[in-house]
Structure 1
Amino acid sequence: MNLFHRIRGVLVALSLVFILTVTSACAGAVQTDRTSYQPSGTASSSYNQLERGDTAVGQNFADWVVQTAHGLVKDAYVRDDDKLGVVISPQVKPNEVRNLARSLAQGFHRNFPNRDLNVLMYAPDKKLILKARYDSTTKQIEYQPVG
């Protein structure tokens, strides 16, 4: 049974890496028009845009993470184009959080290259449970459990 859980964790991580790789490669061809600002009609829609990202690229990446995570991620945000915060769903097992963080860090790096990145993993109750730091010079990920 333990082997089954390990295999499942690896498959989840590999599938997320595959999804992040394929879609981030396709997303690189799409350019966002940053020269024109189209204000929205309501304050709440402007607020929603700021929730996921403080830049258009960051917001798009956070939206994409939530949409393509197949229910593993309930919510996500990007700040300063170097911090990705992710609220996992209850279906993510505790032993799968690290693999998911690694997959997210790899996809985040593809979209925001040449910078040190931080991935903050939150439990479904929005308590911080893991920090993953991607070092762009060594290309290594350091994990720091929280709590």
Structure 2
Amino acid sequence: MNIFHYVRKTLLVLALMVLLTFTSACGASQTKTSNPVMTNQNSEYGQLERGNSAAGQNFGDWVIKTGKGLIKDAYVRDRNKLGVVISPKVLPTEVKALTKSLVQGFRHNFPNQDLTILIYAPDKKLILTARYDTQSHQIDYQQAS
């Protein structure tokens, strides 16, 4: 790996960790809706509803905004599951670092519960699942088959 890729990867991880750790996107109210709904049929791939609660909706919107073009879409379900569609700008070697940053931000906004983060490729195929365990404070990564 040349120095440019190493520096890029390091800066990406640091920037996302700072953004996702020190800012909050949660709202206090909760309203439930049904399963994911297509909200923009004219877009490139059809965006999903960002969350099935107000706090989830706010966090999904915040992830898109602070992702600086690295995240195309995001949704939160049941206050413990985050799905993210990454952009083609994210290199395969950067996916795990990005996921770790997302876990930290998600944990900050939805504390004291086990969390699941689903990472999808730009074509919306699942590529990585990360499960955070609150008791062990460990993240278990599982590549999609």
Q: TM-score range by the shorter chain?
A: 0.7 to 0.9
Residue type at the aligned position of 1:78? V
Secondary structure of the corresponding residue to residue 105 of structure 1: helix
Q: Number of residue pairs matched?
A: 133
User: Is 2:20 the counterpart of 1:20?
Assistant: yes
Say which structure is richer in helix.
1
Distance 1:3 1:105 in 2: 27
- Residue number in structure 2 paired with 1:76: 74
Could you give the per-residue CA deviations for residues 15-58 of structure 1, whole angstroms, max 9, x where no partner exists?
0111112322xx56xx54559xxxxxxxxxx964x711011100
Give the structure 1 partner of residue 9 of structure 2: 9
* Cα distance in 2 between the residues matched to 1:17 and 1:54: 25
Whole-Å separation in 2 of the counterparts to 1:143 and 1:7: 24
| Residue 89 (structure 1) aligns with | 87
Identity %: 59
Provide the rounded CA distance (Å) in 1 between the counterparts of 2:38 and 2:121: 23
Amino acid at match of 1:121: I
CA distance in 1, matches of 2:120, 2:81: 13
Contact 1:10-1:99 within 8 A present in 2 as well: no
What secondary structure is seen at the aligned counterpart in 1 of 2:19?
Answer: helix
TM-fit CA distance, 1:71: 0.2
Offset of residue 14 of structure 1: 1.1
Which blocks of at least 5 consecutive residues in structure 1 are unaligned? 36-45
CA-based RMSD: 2.1
User: Cα offset for 1:139?
Assistant: 0.8
Using a 3 Å threshold, how does the CA distance of structure 1 residues 34 and 133 change in structure 2: closer, same or farther?
closer
Change (3 A) 1:52 1:34: closer
Change (3 A) 1:33 1:77: closer
Distance 1:78 1:33, change over 3 A: closer
Residues 77, 84 of structure 1: 8 Å contact kept: yes
TM-score, normalised relative to structure 2 = 0.83
